[in-house]
Amino acid sequence: MNKPSPTPFSPIAVARTDFAEKFGIPRQSGRVDSLVARIVFYPEYRNDDALRGIEGYSHLWLLWHFSETRQGDAFRPTVRPPRLGGNRAQGVFATRSPFRPNPIGLSSVRLLGLEKTEKEGTVLLVGGADLLDGTPIFDVKPYLPSTDAHPDAVGGFADAFTDYRLSVRCDDALLARLPENKREDLLAVLAEDPRPAYQEDPDRIYGFPFAGFEIKFSVLDRELTVTDIIPIK
């Protein structure tokens, strides 16, 4: 069978989120539904006709680029998902690993509304995105509950790793350093346990940037403690 020639395609939009680094981003879309992302279209796609009728949908599919994933040219048939401890190989097509033959991501998000701006045109506001700030968006498609929802679906080995939430402890004075509209989002992100499953050092201080602040925390057993929240200058 002859392999067809590569078909190049380019992003139509970019995601704007509170995550400046990959660490801390929820592992799947919808895990932290309150997180708000802005989907900003590039100038050649800023045409309101392209969005006509989109307000009638509650959810959308985003197809996007794993732009910060570094991988070689060679095909890797297996990967080691961090949620499995990083020591158990699975077929790449049986996982959602970013290390894929084509680094394309797929996210189901909630449509919160359309924001009309003078500088960026009409922007999509979506909830529950699992995207790095600056992620290139290849396409936006409506989610159709009549065909896209499968209540009897089986999740394979991933079904055993859906309940990994932590309890979160954060001093009120620390939390008050964040803008009020970002506090619940942060606590929800931390409850998702940002660490790879193979990192269980109770003395280690972890950190990641979120909404313009550096968040520091440690984990003992199933409790996460925020140790510091520092503005990023």
233 residues of the chain, pLDDT tens digit each: 888 877 778 999 999 999 999 999 998 999 999 999 999 999 999 999 999 999 999 999 999 999 887 766 788 899 887 766 666 888 999 988 888 888 899 999 999 999 999 999 999 999 999 999 999 999 999 999 999 999 999 988 877 766 778 999 999 999 999 999 999 999 999 999 998 776 778 899 999 999 999 999 999 989 999 999 999 98
Same domain (yes/no): 56, 139: yes
Q: What is the pTM of this model?
A: 0.91
**What single letter denotes the amino acid at residue 233?**
K
| Domain hosting residue 181, numbered range | 165-231
**What single letter denotes the amino acid at residue 159?**
D
Task: Say if residue 232 is exposed, middle or buried (CB neighbours under 10 Å; 0-12, 13-18, 19+).
Answer: exposed
Same domain (yes/no): 20, 62: yes
- The DSSP H or E segment spanning 190 is helix 180-191
CATH code, 127:
2.40.30.70
In a domain, residue 118? The reply is yes
CATH code, 186:
3.30.2310.20
